[in-house]
Each structure stands twice: as C-alpha cells, then as structure tokens.
Structure 1
Amino acid sequence: MSVSKRQPTHDSGYKLLFAHAAMVRDLLRGFVPGDWVQMLDLTTLERCSGSYVTDDLRDRADDLVWRLRWGDDWLYVYILLEFQSTIDPWMAVRIQTYLGLLYQDLIRAEQLSAAGRLPPVLPIVLYNGAQVWNAAETLEHLIEPAPPVLAAYRPRQGYLLLDERRLAKAKRQPTRNLSAALFRLEASRGSGEAMAIVRALIDWLQDPAQTSLRRAFAVWFGRVFLPKRLPGIHFPPLTDLMEVYHMLAENLEAWTDQWEQQGLERGLEQGLEQGLERGLEQGREAARHILIRQVRRRFGPVIAEQSAPLLARIIDLQQLEELGDQLLLSSNGEEWLRHVREADA
C-alpha cells in the first residue's frame, strides 16, 4: 500500500459534517446545557454565510454559522461553530472578532429584529485535542487588572467549550445522537469499537434524505479519521458507510495492533508535552498512567499492579516512551515485565 501524501485537516472534515442540519440539531439537543434549548425550533435551522469582509476590505472567515427561531418570536439565535484540534490561548479574542464581523454583516443586510436590535449569539468551540483545554473561556480573563472605574468597559465575551474526548467518556450519553457518535468515534480505542459505532450510524441514517450526511461520514472516515489512526496506509475513496463497515470488518485483526499503537504513542507524546510545559514529574506521571492503563487492558490487573512500582522508578521520559513500543511487541505479561525490569536496572 502506498503512503498518503496529504490529508485533509480536522477542521475541513468537521466543516463537511456540520454543514448538515442533523449534526447541529443533535449537538444542540445533546450537549448545550439549559432548559432554554427546549424553546428552540430545531426544524428552522438554516445555514448562513460564514465569511465576512471588514470595512477596510480585508477578508475574514469563521467556520460555520447557523441560525434558528427561538420561541414564538421570529428572533434568531446565531450559532458560531469553531473547530479546534489544538489549544488556542486567544480563542476568546477570536470569538469576539468573529461576533463583531457577524454583527456588522447583519447591520449592512438590515437583518435585525422588529425592534431594530441584533440577535443573540451562541459561540461554540468544538475541541477534540488530547490535552485538557486550558485557555481562558472569557475575554476578561485575558486582560490585565484595571482601576474599578474601567470595569464597565471591560469586554466579557465568552464561548461554550465542548471538549469531545471528555464528553465521550461521560457516564450519561445522549441516545441516538449523531454528534455523540462522532465524539465516541474520535475517542475509540480500536477498530472493533469503531465498527460498532459505524453500524449504529448505518441504522440511523437509512432515510434517503440523509444520503448526503451518510456520504459525508464516509468521506471523513476515508480521508481524515482512518489516515490519522493508521498512518502510511493509502485508503481508496469511500462514499458509503457500508463500505467503511466492511473495510473495518475485513481488516479488524490486521489493524488492531497498529490502531492501539497509534493511540498509545499519542498518549505518550501528550505525556512528553506535559513534561515540557508543566514540569517533568507531571509528564512522567501522565506517561506512566497511560502505560499502566494499556497494560491492564492487554494483560490484566495483576500484571498492571506489578508494573506500577517498576514504572514509578523510571524517570527518563524517553525510556517510558520506548516501553510503549515494547508493550505492544510483548506477547504476554511476563515478557512485558522483563522489559520493564531491564529498563529499571
């Protein structure tokens, strides 16, 4: 199989999926907190332009903008969707910029309420990175303290952060929810787990009206999701979810180890990054935690318990990362423990 030259980004893949009203509808139903969501008329979802031109003719674009009716009035709630796979410490500033451009565009187009006012906006940041999001979620936390007299002029723009990996691990999950299925796919730890989710998507998207979304999921699988999990493998163009399901089924055994290896490497890389950013000891702890969790999955709790004190004595992050390779190469628990004892010697 040939190596893929260039893969579409997380951002472009999500734009393809969330260009469908069904995905946005399930995102709102399943993950936006508050009873006010029940007052939204989700059947009125409309896609809006997400590109703007500033007064000095510079082009600016956000990701996706949708609108829908709220309650009995023709009041629109605009939903800004921003997709992130890395942490942006200035996200609140970006959101305020996008919101200002959106409002300028609505004023020019005279798309105001009957009272001549602007609509409320719900900015959503959809994040699927491995690290815990640590950026400020309101603009005021990015601004230095000022005299009390200036408090009234301090911008407070915020956004709703939806951290996919944490949401996918939550005990209570929305049922039959397309966005929840996407989050679980992103957090899946093996091709067997992904197969079960794809099977559910096939069942949910049988209506001919969902043909475009079925195709969008298949394209995302073939061009974004699978290449990220199985780098170096060239995948044929996929346009149907049943093709995805059969491909996973046919290659389940062959891909399982590589899939797990990629997940382990991503986790260990995260530990190394945390070591650089937050101190070496936190990085070591993150790497050890990931290794012990994988040992428990492969060889059971007894081997995991025996591994823990041995790994605790290893302080070289690079050595911990190399043990991740040995974990997947070991055919049994005793072989794995031998590698750990050699590293600890």
Structure 2
Amino acid sequence: MNQETIHQRHDTSYRFLLSSKKLFVELLRSFVNQGWVQAVNEEHVQEIPHSFVLQDFKRQEADLVYQVHLNGQDVVFYLLLEMQSSVDFRMPYRLLLYQVEIWRYLLQNEEDALSNRKTFQLPPIIPIVLYNGKKKWTAELQFRKLLANEDLFGPELLNFEYLLIDVARYTEEELLSLSNTIGSVFLLDQTEDRGQLLDRINKLMNTAQQMSEDNLQKIMAWVANILLQKVPRNESNPERFIQNLEMIALFMRLEKILGDIHKGEQQGKEAVAKELIRMGMDSSTIAQATGFSTHTIEEWRKQTY
C-alpha cells in the first residue's frame, strides 16, 4: 500500500468518525482546552455539507465544517484532517484561504449581509488541525509568524491562531483516562506493531463496554478501515493477523452484550473465550483479549475439539 493510499484511508476513516456530531463534540471536549468548549451542545451542531479543500491540496487532506449555535450566535468550526507524514509549514496560509472560502460560501446567498450596512458582521471561524504524523508538529500556529519581519509591526498585520490536535503527542495514560471513543481511536492510531496493537485493544475492553452501540459500531468500522496499515511488514500471514483482529472486535461486541446480561460475571467472559476458540482464534490472541492464561485456553480448546 503506497503512502497516498494510506493517507486517503486515514482521511476517510477520521472523516467517517467525526461526521458524527456526538463524536465531534467529544473531540472538542477531550482535546481543546478552551473555556467555551463546555458550552458546545450537540443539539446545536449542524454540519455544512461542503468541502473547502483547494484543488492544490486535494490529495493531502480532508475537512469537516460545522456550524454551531454558541452563546446566542452562529460559530463555524473548520476541522482540517492533516494525515500526512510530514509537517506542512504553510499551514497558516492554507487555513487563511479556507476561511475566506467559507465566508464566501456562507455569504453568497445572503444579499442583506453583503449590503453595506453598519450591522454587517462575519461569522467567527475556529480553525482546527487534526494531525496524526509521527513527526512532532513544528509549523507556526499564528498566521503573522509567516510574514517577513512581522516583529517590526503591531496589530495592523493580519493574524489568527489555529488549534492543533497532534494525535501522536498524547500518552497512553492520557488517552486511556478519557475512557471514550475518540481517545480509543487515537490510542489505536498510535500503535507501531502487532503486540502493542493487541495489548491496547485488550486495555480498551472496559471502555468498549461503556460505549453506546452506535459508537462501538463506529470504532469497529474505523478499526476495519485502517487495519491493513497496522499489519507489520514482517507478518508472515497478514490475512490471519487481520482475521484475529476482526475476531477481537467481535469479542468487544460479544463481551458488551454478555456484560449487560451477566453484569461482569466471570462466566460471561469465559463463554466469549470459548466462542473465540470455536471460531479458530489462536490461544495467545485470546489470552491477550480476555485476560485468561494460555494454559487455561488450551485446556478449554481440548474440551471443545
């Protein structure tokens, strides 16, 4: 899989997740440390079904635009999904272009707003960049920092600052402590190899049990969509590896259902482990997913076959 395909798959996966208003609000509340965040209400969030990515950048990114009624006024949130492996130092300039396009789009049918009236105002736009590259994001956050000799001038220069959400910079502890869907996605997106991926899926079992059925389905779809990227290059049997991970995703659903029935009884988890044995999952993977020892699983396997 080439890099362009990987980036497009990530763009699509994140866009799919964050097209959910609930998960968009969850993203803001989890990773944006601003006082106004708590005032964002899912009921007052409306997606603007239009992409503002310019032709020059079509292969580099995807975007989402939400209009939010916040404290008595409409605010636009522009979320740019930057899934590249390298840092683009032109980011403030690109965001300026996108914001101008958004204002043009919103005002094109607003004849009254375009008239020269004293009350004319533009809706505020909050630009946010979601970046998942391994390299630390080192591009300037303020637009004026791109201007030559900007330190010679004061507020007469154009300026704005965008919010950055850098997926790779959060620790495992921080993401697990969120106990939500977005934190789980970021944690899985950070994984480097098979062992770490399986270990983290296991650590997310409790979080998965607390998710709504809708969110659980979304994270499972996200896992399935980027699964091929997480298969190690030296994996001798990638199809088997993918099948095992798909079974773990199924386990997450089965455990949630049985958890509702058994209220966490050991028999519920044991029943799921035995079902995974019947489905052909290897013992070490089942052990990582359920917490049982490989010896116990092998004993159950003998009883099953």
TM tier, smaller: 0.5 to 0.7
CA deviation after TM superposition for structure 1 residue 165, in Å: 2.2
Between the two proteins, what is the percent identity of the paired residues?
A: 20
Structure 1 residues 164 and 170 mapped into 2: Cα distance closer, same or farther (>3 Å)? farther
CA deviation after TM superposition for structure 1 residue 116, in Å: 3.5
Structure 1 residues 10 and 244 mapped into 2: Cα distance closer, same or farther (>3 Å)? farther
Conserved 8 A contact 1:63-1:80: yes
Q: Which runs of 5+ in 2 are unaligned?
A: 255-272, 288-305
What does the per-residue CA deviation read over 1:151-207, in whole Å, with 9 as the maximum and x for residues that have no partner? Answer: 44422132101112222446586633321222222234331222332552353123x
- Give the equivalent residue in structure 1 for 2:180: 177
Structure 1 residues 53 and 133 mapped into 2: Cα distance closer, same or farther (>3 Å)? closer
- Give the equivalent residue in structure 1 for 2:258: none
- Give the equivalent residue in structure 2 for 1:120: 124
Q: Residues of 2 paired with 1:50 and 1:176: CA distance?
A: 31
Q: Residues of 2 paired with 1:160 and 1:41: CA distance?
A: 19
Q: Residues of 1 paired with 2:22 and 2:167: CA distance?
A: 18
Q: Secondary structure of the equivalent of 2:123?
A: coil
Aligned-pair Cα RMSD in Å: 4.0
- Give the equivalent residue in structure 1 for 2:77: 79
Q: Secondary structure of the equivalent of 1:51?
A: coil
Conserved 8 A contact 1:45-1:68: yes
Tell me, yes or no, if structure 1 residue 91 matches structure 2 residue 91.
yes
- Give the equivalent residue in structure 2 for 1:325: none
Output the amino acid matched with 1:138: Q
Structure 1 residues 95 and 222 mapped into 2: Cα distance closer, same or farther (>3 Å)? same
Q: TM-score by structure 1 length?
A: 0.58
My pick for the range that moved more, 230-239 or 121-130, is 230-239
Q: TM-score by structure 2 length?
A: 0.65
Structure 1 residues 204 and 53 mapped into 2: Cα distance closer, same or farther (>3 Å)? closer
Output the amino acid matched with 1:192: D
- Give the equivalent residue in structure 1 for 2:43: 43
Q: Residues of 2 paired with 1:176 and 1:21: CA distance?
A: 18
Given candidates 123, 130, 137, the residue that maps to 1:133 is 137
Q: Residues of 2 paired with 1:225 and 1:67: CA distance?
A: 32
- Give the equivalent residue in structure 1 for 2:207: 200
Structure 1 residues 143 and 229 mapped into 2: Cα distance closer, same or farther (>3 Å)? farther
- Give the equivalent residue in structure 2 for 1:222: 224
My pick for the range that moved more, 226-235 or 57-66, is 57-66
Structure 1 residues 202 and 255 mapped into 2: Cα distance closer, same or farther (>3 Å)? closer
Q: Residues of 1 paired with 2:175 and 2:9: CA distance?
A: 30
Q: Secondary structure of the equivalent of 1:83?
A: strand
Conserved 8 A contact 2:180-2:207: no
My pick for the range that moved more, 116-125 or 61-70, is 61-70
- Give the equivalent residue in structure 1 for 2:262: none
Conserved 8 A contact 2:62-2:81: no
Structure 1 residues 163 and 40 mapped into 2: Cα distance closer, same or farther (>3 Å)? same
Conserved 8 A contact 2:181-2:219: no
Given candidates 281, 284, 287, the residue that maps to 1:253 is 284
- Give the equivalent residue in structure 2 for 1:10: 10
Q: Residues of 1 paired with 2:57 and 2:132: CA distance?
A: 27
CA deviation after TM superposition for structure 1 residue 220, in Å: 2.0
Conserved 8 A contact 1:62-1:82: yes
- Give the equivalent residue in structure 1 for 2:169: 166
Q: Residues of 2 paired with 1:108 and 1:238: CA distance?
A: 47
